[in-house]
Structure 1
Amino acid sequence: MSTAVANKYTSTQFTFEQLKGRVTVPPFQRRLVWSKQQKKEFIETLSKGFPFGSVLIYKYEEDTMVSLIDGLQRFSTIMDYEKNPQEYIDITEEIDLLVSVLTANYPGDLTAKILNSIKKDIKGLIKDIISKQNVEPMLLFDTMNRHEELSQYLDSTQLRETVHIQHQITSKKSNYLKVNEIIIPTVEFLGDVSELSEVFENLNKGGKKLSKYQVFAAQWYRNTITLNDMKNNKNILEEIIKRYELLDRQREIKIEDFSPEKMREEKVINLSELCYALGKLIIKESSVFFNHKKEDGLEDLANEIGYSTMGIIFGIDNKKLYSIEKYIARLQDAKFLNDLLNTIFKIFRNINDHFKQYLKVPIQEENYENKKITNFKFLSYFADLWTRYFSITPDNQIIDRSSSGDISYSKTIENLIFYYIMDSVKGNWGNAGDSRLNLYYLDQTRNYLNKPQKKDFEDAIAIWWQERISNPSIQFDDNSKMIMTIYYNLDKSNSGLKIGRNYDFEHLIARNKIKDIYKNLILPMGTLGNMMFLDSNINRSKKELNLYNQISSGESINKTYIDFAFYPEENLINRLENLIHIKHENLQAEVTQFVTQRGDKIIEKLIFNLYK
């Protein structure tokens, strides 16, 4: 006989006025993702009195406020309407009426451009009236009368009609939506706080997918850590404060228990905040891989890097990161936490410094050819180094074997560029990256301890290269750009590139010469064999010229640069360009042969310099 399970929730209704004064938003809520159109459509639904989905609230035992667990989009949109009704109410009819009144008696002809300008000015005035709480009956007329452009169309005979239109506008606002009277269907969850993450996840299955990190944040909201004034602890705290300041500005809703001054005074954070801030600081230490990321797009990346790093530290399967919570007691030791962070950042700095020497693009600003990295591939470098050379004792002491007489740590780091290239050309880390990452610190069946055998390395690049030259292309692929960048960085002194100058990836045989024929003739023109670094100043004037044409026109290009780039002799490049121009029957064979052989030379020299 089955036993009925008691409901863990109640359903009721509150007006918006009743809710808005007692609702806070927990930090684990996701950011606003509704577009302006979606927000307008929701407000229109409310204005028609139609039903809408309920919000979920939860009251923590010691709190007087209730927390908004689900329904942020709806609740914040209503708040935004209350603050900015002019952004939601359709005023097309009123604009057209007012334009008609203003221009009815105008003696001259009005062009479409002038009419559009009048409509734009009127729209601004009407929106301003809607935004105000109380307006004088003649405000619209008086404002237009003072307006530099609109006043030339206005006279006293239009007063009555203008006042009438203003009344129509204010009436529309008044009748459109009475915000405080909106009835909000509300579900209050009565279960245990530990169940909130599961509830939140289930509620969001039909909408925008909730990340596992947001679910963990719901679960760990009350797992607190008290920091001290040591450097890394302070940096963690500041990253969390900056995060909430940004979210607070975006949401315009109070974030639960957030005050920068209070946080700095109390120094109390929770486990999910620690993981986020850890990820953010790792990103800062890893400019080679993440310097192109915009600040406002780092939320998900920081979570993935931070949580995964913490999983590696404590030997937790990346698919079971919820187990990090078991180690909260260790992380509550502020000195240990500071020492742990110091070690983590040291490892990531070492990784970053290693790749900086290979992936720096030859331009003045800090820019790196990093498109072939994935988050889990990046984390695997840390995972292998941490697991092999560091450990934590039962009494929270960090054992560091990286600085001993054994040079394996530095050798392991030196090997990373080989695996970076091999994984990139083989397409590893594309799918199931979390499972592959586990192999480097749980199973420990993969590692970077030994340099790949030269034959294996050569074969991996050869297979990739054969595939590239067998297909038509004109856009440079990321692997070709990566290899070219590493090729130049391996022998900078002999590359012919000038320090302090900017260089672009450029087609050796100009793109414009082959853009209409490369597909039909299966020409691999977007590959390593037709790529070079070219001084940006020369590139702007190059157009369809080859370098010998530019030299004859006065440009200075040194022989070292020509030789290092395996740039073809003048008679060969002129012959190839002529074959393309006249569409010779040998065009496909000779151009493909040239691209292939030049790419072969670059690859051969790259491998030689890596393994010498």
Structure 2
Amino acid sequence: MSYYTIETWTIRDVAKAFNFRDTSTSFTDRKVVIPIFQRGLRWEPKKRSQFIDSLDRGYPFGSLLFAKQEGINKYSVVDGLQRGSTACDYVFNPLAKNNINSVDEEVLDAIRIALFPDNESKSINKKIEEQILSYFYEKKRFDCVDLSDLADIIYDSFPNTEDYRICRTKIKNAISPFYAKRKEKYDNICASSVPIVVYSGPQELLNEIFNRINKNGTPLNDFEIYSATWSHKPILVNNTEVIEKVIKKYWALSDLGYEIDGFDATLMRTKKELTAFEFLFGLGKYWYDKFDCLKVESKNKDDDVNEISFEIVDACINQTKSISNLDKVLQRLNINKLQRRIEESITYVSNAIAVVSSFKGNKRKFNVLHSKYQIISLISFTFREMYDINNLETKKDDWNRKSQIIAKKLLSHYVADIISGEWHDGGAAKVYSFTKERKYLEDISLDRWGSLLDNHYFAQLQNKQNERFTNPVNADCVILNCIYVTLFTASDQLSSQKFDIEHLATKERMKNILNNFNDLKLPICCIANLCYLPEDINRGKKEKTIYEATNLSLPISVIEEKYSFTVEDDLKWITYPYTSEDQTLFVSNYEKFIASRYSKIKARFLEMFK
């Protein structure tokens, strides 16, 4: 039995059906709504422009799949949201910046000559173009454009001595062909035919159809597919901020003129019911705002899925057995209590690693040093140690006794794993392994700390540069934070003072010396050449070393003791007048300097973990 028919619509038909704010649409016209399981708008401006260009060229672009709703002239979009929404945007805003961003040079020349017949300079063309584009952007649609008004605006914007009527006519005549050409393109695109596959079968099959289409077409990520394939059975959610994040997701589409089928913000607030997907979606947004340590993804749009909430919850209660079935596990639990318990674990981990992860640098925002799966692993391990999944009422009996020990071990492994690059690869399976094997309870010996630091340092010695110097990596930041946390006072941490990571043998000084030698490269950016310096001192001295700079805001003895761990003789070699004959001497001097300073760095680092 066939559940579909094929209809032919125009692009204008599609756009009018998508845009529920189109006042020209009558009650009997077709309407397309977005089902609540659909993803948001994912196409970037470049891809949207390419789609419009394909329409203009008459290229085929495939059919759209709509599901007919029983008894009314309404359809749900199953496949084609990106194409349909792009068509809608173009039809109702064809003069937007992404559709028209320049004016033909001959048009600008003709207008310039009309205004200033004797002026051959084309510098004024840019200002004329800005006037034309600004007018188009304001009007948005061709039927709102009046070329006579535009000609008046241009004439009034450029004081001149030409006859108003004659000049105005010349300006209008210059713009008319340009305008007509784009209007013709617009009309042709609007009249383009689109094959529409109309599904009229059982509604319960729509999620499966959506899943299969998007598994084989332009890919959704797994978490977007869960929106369609997971159970839509409602769950009572107490956290109103989570609910508001879900509402903002749907409003992000509604504000663009699209109707979300079955969405009612007032009802959602009143009943406080969400699907499992909606709960985790809102939770991800809520946690992103609440916990700095979870800012490992830059997905800040209202309809972006922050995957980390799905993965944290799965790692805590499902141990990544099959995240595709997580909705069924959630249905059996008190999700409000679960949320609070996981948040306790996140807070505990955040506090445990804060001495290193939140150490004050020159960042105005939280500087995330860890990877997504490393922080998930720490949180899920903590949750499992803190609670029995079958009893979320109270913590495990031995938690209070061992909590301080676990906090110290988490910090140690946090630092060690960043230095070693443990989490550069490995995902959910690795998280499960670390939790199951309770790896975070293992001790790290002083010898292993030394080996970790040595391996990092000696690897950096192979990374040589003479220009385009690399920035400090996360491992460098962690090592420095461990060293300076014992030196910085509470006053340092709480003050408005910022601190820079600086090269003691400064990059500019080293670059200038390296220019004396033929393609010589050295490990300028290794940990042994790095230190923290107060921002005002570092930026005030510019390319000079701390010993060459004058008017420092701190005595040099304080800088040596608290920041550089050097004496003046350590950096005297950088002041020598090297020539092309001195390469061996220069290399030897630098290598001695970093070897000596590395021994100081290493000793101070190991002090933290004795």
- Computed over aligned residues only, the root mean square deviation of the Cα atoms, in angstroms, reads 3.6
The equivalent position to 1:242 in structure 2, one of 228, 232, 248, is: 248
Aligned residue identity for 2:507: R
Deviation digits for residues 566-600 of structure 1 (CA, Å, limit 9, x no counterpart):
53221231134427677452322331232123123
Query: Are the structure 2 counterparts of residues 478 and 175 from structure 1 closer, same or farther at C-alpha, using a change threshold of 3 Å?
Result: same
* Corresponding position of 1:310: 313
Asked if 1:26 corresponds to 2:35, the answer is yes
Q: Is the 8 A contact 1:226 1:267 kept in 2?
A: yes
Q: Secondary structure at the match of 2:595?
A: helix
Q: Is the 8 A contact 1:488 1:495 kept in 2?
A: no
Query: Are the structure 2 counterparts of residues 573 and 596 from structure 1 closer, same or farther at C-alpha, using a change threshold of 3 Å?
Result: same
| Aligned equivalents of 2:546, 2:56: Cα separation in 1 | 67
* Corresponding position of 1:212: 222
Query: Which aligned pairs between 1:413-432 and structure 2 lie closer than 5 A?
Result: 413-432=407-426
Asked if 1:481 corresponds to 2:477, the answer is yes
* 1:310 Cα offset (Å): 2.3
Aligned residue identity for 1:310: V
Asked if 1:600 corresponds to 2:596, the answer is no
Deviation digits for residues 223-282 of structure 1 (CA, Å, limit 9, x no counterpart):
32233xx4xx22221221233333444x54223333433321232211111111222233
| Aligned equivalents of 1:26, 1:39: Cα separation in 2 | 22
Q: Is the 8 A contact 1:125 1:140 kept in 2?
A: yes
| Aligned equivalents of 2:269, 2:196: Cα separation in 1 | 35
Aligned residue identity for 1:348: I
Q: Is the 8 A contact 1:47 1:176 kept in 2?
A: yes
Asked if 1:400 corresponds to 2:402, the answer is no
Deviation digits for residues 508-542 of structure 1 (CA, Å, limit 9, x no counterpart):
01111222639954522211110111111111221
* Corresponding position of 1:3: none
Query: Which aligned pairs between 1:112-261 and structure 2 lie closer than 5 A?
Result: 112-125=122-135, 131-133=141-143, 138-145=148-155, 147-149=156-158, 153=162, 155-158=164-167, 161=170, 168=177, 171-172=180-181, 175-178=184-187, 181-189=191-199, 196=206, 199-204=209-214, 208-220=218-230, 222-227=232-237, 230=238, 233-249=239-255, 251-261=256-266
* 1:466 Cα offset (Å): 1.9
Identity %: 20
* 1:207 Cα offset (Å): 5.7
* Corresponding position of 1:330: 332
Asked if 1:279 corresponds to 2:284, the answer is yes
* 1:329 Cα offset (Å): 2.9
Q: Is the 8 A contact 1:363 1:500 kept in 2?
A: no
| Aligned equivalents of 2:300, 2:161: Cα separation in 1 | 47
Query: Are the structure 2 counterparts of residues 542 and 184 from structure 1 closer, same or farther at C-alpha, using a change threshold of 3 Å?
Result: same
| Aligned equivalents of 1:270, 1:148: Cα separation in 2 | 56
Q: Secondary structure at the match of 2:78?
A: strand
Q: Is the 8 A contact 2:64 2:196 kept in 1?
A: yes
Q: Is the 8 A contact 2:500 2:534 kept in 1?
A: yes
Deviation digits for residues 297-341 of structure 1 (CA, Å, limit 9, x no counterpart):
9934x2x211112212332425x211112224324xxxx322221
* Corresponding position of 2:23: none
* 1:414 Cα offset (Å): 1.9
* 1:54 Cα offset (Å): 1.1
Aligned residue identity for 2:274: I
| Aligned equivalents of 2:251, 2:361: Cα separation in 1 | 35
> Which range moved further: 444-453 or 490-499?
490-499
Q: Is the 8 A contact 1:25 1:68 kept in 2?
A: yes
Deviation digits for residues 63-118 of structure 1 (CA, Å, limit 9, x no counterpart):
97422122122111111112212237669777734741562473532422123222
* Corresponding position of 2:22: none
Q: Secondary structure at the match of 2:332?
A: helix
Q: Is the 8 A contact 1:197 1:216 kept in 2?
A: no
Query: Which aligned pairs between 1:463-542 and structure 2 lie closer than 5 A?
Result: 463-473=455-465, 474-475=469-470, 476-493=472-489, 499-515=495-511, 517=514, 520-542=519-541
Q: Secondary structure at the match of 2:312?
A: helix
* Corresponding position of 2:106: 96
Deviation digits for residues 353-385 of structure 1 (CA, Å, limit 9, x no counterpart):
2222222343487644433x1111111111111
Query: Are the structure 2 counterparts of residues 130 and 511 from structure 1 closer, same or farther at C-alpha, using a change threshold of 3 Å?
Result: closer
> What's the TM-score once normalised by structure 2's chain length?
0.84
* Corresponding position of 1:75: 84
Structure 2 alignment gaps of length 5 or more: 19-29
Aligned residue identity for 2:473: D
| Aligned equivalents of 2:100, 2:331: Cα separation in 1 | 56
Q: Is the 8 A contact 1:360 1:369 kept in 2?
A: yes
Q: Is the 8 A contact 1:496 1:560 kept in 2?
A: no
Query: Are the structure 2 counterparts of residues 559 and 277 from structure 1 closer, same or farther at C-alpha, using a change threshold of 3 Å?
Result: same
* 1:211 Cα offset (Å): 0.5
Query: Are the structure 2 counterparts of residues 215 and 135 from structure 1 closer, same or farther at C-alpha, using a change threshold of 3 Å?
Result: closer
| Aligned equivalents of 1:491, 1:91: Cα separation in 2 | 55
* Corresponding position of 2:388: 391
| Aligned equivalents of 1:74, 1:298: Cα separation in 2 | 18
Aligned residue identity for 2:453: I
* Corresponding position of 1:546: 545
| Aligned equivalents of 1:317, 1:554: Cα separation in 2 | 55
| Aligned equivalents of 1:71, 1:211: Cα separation in 2 | 16
* 1:219 Cα offset (Å): 0.8
How many residue pairs align between the two structures? 586
Q: Is the 8 A contact 1:370 1:482 kept in 2?
A: no
Query: Are the structure 2 counterparts of residues 130 and 549 from structure 1 closer, same or farther at C-alpha, using a change threshold of 3 Å?
Result: closer
